[in-house]
Amino acid sequence: MKVAVFGTKSYDRQFLEAAAKGTEIQWHFFEPRLTETTVPLAHPFPAICCFVNDMLGGEVLSRLAEGKTRMIAMRCAGYNNVDLAEAKQLGIQVARVPAYSPYAVAEHAVGLILTLNRKYHKAYNRVREGNFSIEGLLGFDLHGKTVGVIGTGKIGQLFAQIMHGFGCHLLAYDVQPAEACTKLGAKYVSLDELFAQSDIISLHCPLLPATKHLIDDDAIAKMKPGVMVINTSRGALINTKAAIEGLKSGRIGYLGIDVYEEEADLFFENKSETVIQDDVFARLMTFPNVLVTGHQAFFTENALEAIAEVTVENLQEFAAGKPLTREVKVD
Ligand code: NAD
């Protein structure tokens, strides 16, 4: 079976090729991401393989359905960029990789916390320039701090475990509390209580209509002054303009994000020679207490191996006409 891969990077090619060795899958790698402009490339392919910033809204899906495409294999866990209702209507099946390495993302979230707190990025540059002053690098002990975890699924639970190891008190909020978190000593509380009591808030819930802009002006106003906010989940969980106001007023003391609501036009590409047109993002970059990584939380070799293997399994099920074990459907 021929499968078109959109938004291909060298690492996608490396891991997908290894996982498909000896199978009937023939990859056709396209560098552009899937958009209304690039969708004709998909026409001859019964299945396509997409990622977080491919555009899978109504228009692109109906153009896919005009061609041969009947299956979308997402090589990621999130599927907020897919119009599932439209896909169903058009007879296009969607599968994903629900879990690959939750450790990768949980560990990256902790990395953001440590870097923002102890300012390793600044220390690295200083020392390389022969500046051994530690003025301005003052941090705080994580031990004894209260950490609020929003979304205690696979990643949130692991994150909670690591923070428990640092000696933090854990607060949690989820629509479905997890026993594993309660056993760690986490206390499930209302969102308002979590906002009011946490020194660090980390987001691990999916982007849904109910969670869009979960962190907005109102939420920020309820937080402790100087709070640290970490987002490794999806950009639109945070209203970026509200976060900027929070940073300006000092209510948010630190912001660490691996995802950004308008990341599709920026992330995964080298823009170092380009003038960034996104003024909101540009403003974020001016704060000394903001750390942005470009959606790399998942990016470990363990995760890429697992993603490629499961993506191949999803495509093999489709090729064999079997029910898709990891199909994503409208609720
Ligand atoms: P999961 O499905 O195991 O857990 C999600 C949790 O969120 C569940 O416990 C669910 O009950 C909870 N939830 C749902 N609606 C909620 C709401 N309204 N309020 C609070 N909690 C709610 O998912 P996971 O594997 O832990 O992944 C979490 C998120 O991490 C994914 O949705 C994805 O967006 C993001 N992610 C990011 C990266 C990255 O590289 N940055 C990689 C993988 C996943």
Same domain as 77, residue 41: yes
Same domain as 134, residue 26: no
Question: pLDDT value at position 37?
Answer: 97
As a whole number of Å, the end-to-end CA separation of the chain is 30
148 domain residue, yes or no = yes
* Whether this model's pTM surpasses 0.90: yes
Domain count for the chain, please give it.
2
From atom 35 of ligand 1, which residue's Cα is the shortest distance away? 233
- Residues with catalytic function: 234, 263, 295
Q: Verify whether ligand 1 is closer than 6 Å to residue 205 (CB atom).
A: yes
Q: Verify whether ligand 1 is closer than 6 Å to residue 105 (CB atom).
A: yes
pLDDT, one tens digit per residue, over 273-324 is 999 999 999 999 999 999 999 999 999 999 999 999 999 999 999 999 999 9
328 domain residue, yes or no = no
Contact 321, 46 (CB under 8 A): no
Question: pLDDT value at position 78?
Answer: 87
Structural domain that includes position 87 = 2-100+301-319
DSSP states along 50-107: E-TTS-BSHHHHHHHHHTT--EEEESSS--TTB-HHHHHHHT-EEE--S-S-HHHHHH
CA of 58 to the centre of ligand 1 (A): 24
pLDDT, one tens digit per residue, over 164-191 is 999 999 999 999 999 999 999 999 999 9
Q: Please choose from 105, 152, 173, 260 the residue to mutate so as to test ligand 1's pocket, defined by most ligand atoms within 8 A of CB.
A: 105
Same domain as 108, residue 50: no
Same domain as 244, residue 154: yes
ipTM value of the model?
Answer: 0.99
* pLDDT of 245 strictly over 90: yes
- Compute the residue count for the chain: 331
Question: pLDDT value at position 43?
Answer: 97
H/E run at residue 296: none
Same domain as 224, residue 132: yes
Query: What six digits make up the tokens of 18?
Result: 């290894």
Same domain as 194, residue 81: no
Same domain as 182, residue 90: no
Same domain as 125, residue 87: no
18 domain residue, yes or no = yes
